[in-house]
Each structure stands twice: as structure tokens, then as C-alpha cells.
């Protein structure tokens, strides 16, 4: 007889919150179609870490939420035999899209039950783990302003964008990129888990989540109207590394030097961390569950057999 599968949903964010009172029924219906018995917990975002920790060590645990929720779960499940299965119930669902997890709830539940296990890299900033990226500078102010507006995040993004552009200022960073020191002035420092593309048609995408590298992009200091033009070029893949960036690099480790504290956005969640701050790649630190056809090779599979009769 198959074991009961733990399913933990952050009911306070993104798509989950929009489903309201129908959330439990929708999730139960999706898993009923798989024939797998589940142990469903709907929890507030602040309680997700404790809920995930209580299931660490099991073959797999399903977590529903956005990238911030998944990043918190990844920090707890890192370097353990437990695979993270994803229900994409956030706003943008970057990690789910990267792993080819269907955005349809019923299809995502089927992957969570029957998908294959593989390992992917994580990024860390001090003790903070991220699955997608860490940002410093203008984006942290954007997130703070956006989250002050009640309603959907896209709605709050409009006044937040206007506010940060009107009050934009570049910051000075002293970075050590794989041991080489760089002094950089930038409105936005972006550090991605694995290599992010700026090529046409692939902007913001990652070819793999297993290259053991961080992407480092520091946007060149410029006037607000030029920053808007840069953003438009970047979205269509026409950004020029030499013109638009003060720094473009791949690295295993990046240190932000200094004293005091720095605010960063980690998978869209704000947090203050002490300086100097070391960011590094954590190769293949997290087990995830993906559609079977998405694996690039057999070496991405877990060595631990995930039997449904475990």
C-alpha cells in the first residue's frame, strides 16, 4: 500500500489566496485523480518552515506556493534525501516554469506523484538560501513599495515602478568575484542561481540548474529614462553587455564587502543580512520532482530509489 504523501500549501500567497475557500477542495480533487492518498495542510506563510521541517527525511514532500515559499522549503530540505515536489501556486512561478512543472493544478499534482527525482543547484547568501536569484539596490525598494499596495502584485507594481524611478540612486559595491576585487556603482546588483541568459528569445532563462555557477549582473549607472530604455531592450533580448552592464560574470562565489547590514530580495522576499556577505553556489544541493521527460541524463536521477510503496 502506498504511503500517504504530505502536501503543504501556503494559503496566504498568489494563486492559493485567490482560490479562497475553494483551495482545499481544488487540491484534494487534483490529487484524487492520481489515486494517491495525501496528508493536506493549509498553512500561513509564517508557519511553512515548521511544517516542511516536520516532514524532512521522507522520500518526497509537496509544497504549494510561489518562489519565496519554495526557497524557504529548499533551505530546509537541502542536502537531505527528501525531494521537493512543486505545486505552482505563486504569482510568477519561475522555478516551476524552469523545471517544466505544469501550471495546471491537476497536471502538477500528477507530476508530484509520478515524476522523477533529480538534483539541482541552490544559491546561498550567508545563511539565506535562494532557488532563483538575489537582488540588491533598486529592486529591493520596488518590492517594498509594491507590497504596500493591497491586491494582486501586478497591481502594486505600477505605482512601485514609478516611485523607484523618481527616487532612483546608484549604490556603491565592493565585490570579490571568485577572489578578484571590483568596485562597482550600480542601481541594481543581480546574482542568479546558475547562468541567466540575456540572449534574444532567452532573456531571464537558464539552460540548466546544474552548472555550479552564479550569474552576476550589475546594471550600469544611468539616468531613469535610460534605465527604462535598458529594461525594454533587455526584455526583447537586445541588451549589450559592454554598454548596459558595469559587470557581467559567472562565478562560484561572490562576496559583497563592507560593514553593517544590506537589504536583499531573495526570490522576491526581502531580508536584511550582515556584511560582508558571501554568496555562493551549492551544487546539486536540492532534490526536486520533475516530469520524466525533462531529465537531461540519467546522472540527474537520485541514487536513492523513490518507491511509491516506501
pLDDT in tens, 263-310: 999 998 999 999 999 999 999 999 999 998 744 444 444 443 443 334
Nearest to 183 by CA among 252, 241, 272, 246: 246
> What pLDDT is stored for residue 300 in this prediction?
43
- pTM of the predicted protein model: 0.82
Average pLDDT, the chain: 85
Residue 266, CA distances (Å) to 125, 140, 147, 259, 306 in order: 9, 9, 15, 20, 30
pLDDT at 154 over 50: no
pLDDT band at residue 104 using 50, 70 and 90 as cut-offs: very high
Percent of the chain with pLDDT over 90: 63
Mean pLDDT of the region 117-144 = 90
> What pLDDT is stored for residue 294 in this prediction?
44
Helix 105-114 and helix 23-32: axis angle, to 10°?
Answer: 50
More confident residue, 308 or 221: 221
> What pLDDT is stored for residue 279 in this prediction?
98
* C-beta separation of 278 from 255 below 8 A: yes
> What pLDDT is stored for residue 49 in this prediction?
95
Least-confidence region, from 118-122, 193-197, 204-208, 250-254: 204-208
Percent of the chain with pLDDT over 70: 77
- Where are the alpha helices (H) located in 33-180, listed in sequence order? 48-53, 67-77, 94-98, 105-114, 138-146, 153-166
Residue 222's H or E segment, with its range, is: none
Give tens-digit pLDDT for 24-76.
999 999 999 999 999 999 999 999 999 999 999 999 999 999 999 999 999 99
pLDDT band at residue 155 using 50, 70 and 90 as cut-offs: very low
Nearest to 129 by CA among 240, 4, 273: 273
Helix and strand element counts for the chain (H, E): 10, 16
**Between vectors from CA 248 to CA 121 and to CA 207, what angle results, nearest 5°?**
40
Mean pLDDT of the region 159-172 = 63
> What pLDDT is stored for residue 299 in this prediction?
42
Rounded distance, CA 284 to CA 124, Å?
A: 13
Amino acid at each position: 500500500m502506498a504511503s500517504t504523501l504530505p502536501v503543504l500549501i501556503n494559503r496566504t500567497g498568489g494563486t492559493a489566496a485567490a482560490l479562497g475557500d475553494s483551495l482545499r477542495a481544488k487540491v484534494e480533487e487534483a490529487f484524487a485523480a492520481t489515486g494517491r492518498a495525501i496528508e493536506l495542510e493549509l498553512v500561513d506563510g509564517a508557519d511553512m518552515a515548521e511544517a516542511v521541517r516536520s516532514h524532512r527525511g521522507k522520500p518526497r514532500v509537496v509544497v504549494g506556493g510561489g518562489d519565496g515559499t519554495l526557497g524557504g522549503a529548499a533551505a530546509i530540505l537541502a542536502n537531505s534525501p527528501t525531494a521537493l515536489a512543486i505545486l505552482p501556486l505563486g504569482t510568477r512561478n519561475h522555478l516551476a516554469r524552469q523545471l517544466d512543472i505544469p501550471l495546471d493544478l491537476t497536471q502538477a499534482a500528477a507530476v508530484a506523484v509520478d515524476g522523477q527525482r533529480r538534483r539541482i543547484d541552490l544559491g546561498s547568501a550567508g545563511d539565506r538560501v535562494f532557488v532563483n536569484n538575489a537582488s540588491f539596490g533598486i529592486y529591493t525598494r520596488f518590492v517594498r513599495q509594491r507590497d504596500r499596495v493591497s491586491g494582486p502584485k501586478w497591481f502594486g507594481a505600477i505605482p512601485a515602478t514609478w516611485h523607484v524611478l523618481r527616487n532612483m540612486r546608484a549604490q556603491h559595491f565592493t565585490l570579490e568575484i571568485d577572489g578578484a576585487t571590483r568596485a562597482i556603482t550600480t542601481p541594481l546588483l543581480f546574482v542568479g542561481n546558475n547562468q541567466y541568459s540575456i540572449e534574444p528569445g532567452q532573456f531571464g532563462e537558464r539552460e540548466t540548474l546544474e552548472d555550479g555557477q552564479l550569474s552576476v549582473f550589475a546594471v550600469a549607472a544611468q539616468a531613469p529614462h535610460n534605465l527604462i530604455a535598458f529594461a525594454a531592450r533587455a526584455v526583447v533580448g537586445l541588451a549589450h553587455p559592454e554598454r548596459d552592464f558595469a559587470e557581467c560574470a559567472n562565478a562560484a562565489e561572490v562576496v559583497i564587502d563592507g560593514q553593517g547590514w544590506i537589504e536583499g530580495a531573495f526570490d522576491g522576499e526581502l531580508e536584511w543580512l550582515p556584511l560582508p556577505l558571501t554568496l555562493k553556489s551549492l551544487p546539486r544541493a536540492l532534490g526536486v520532482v520533475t516530469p520524466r521527460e525533462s531529465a537531461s541524463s540519467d546522472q540527474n536521477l537520485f541514487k536513492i530509489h523513490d518507491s511509491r510503496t516506501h
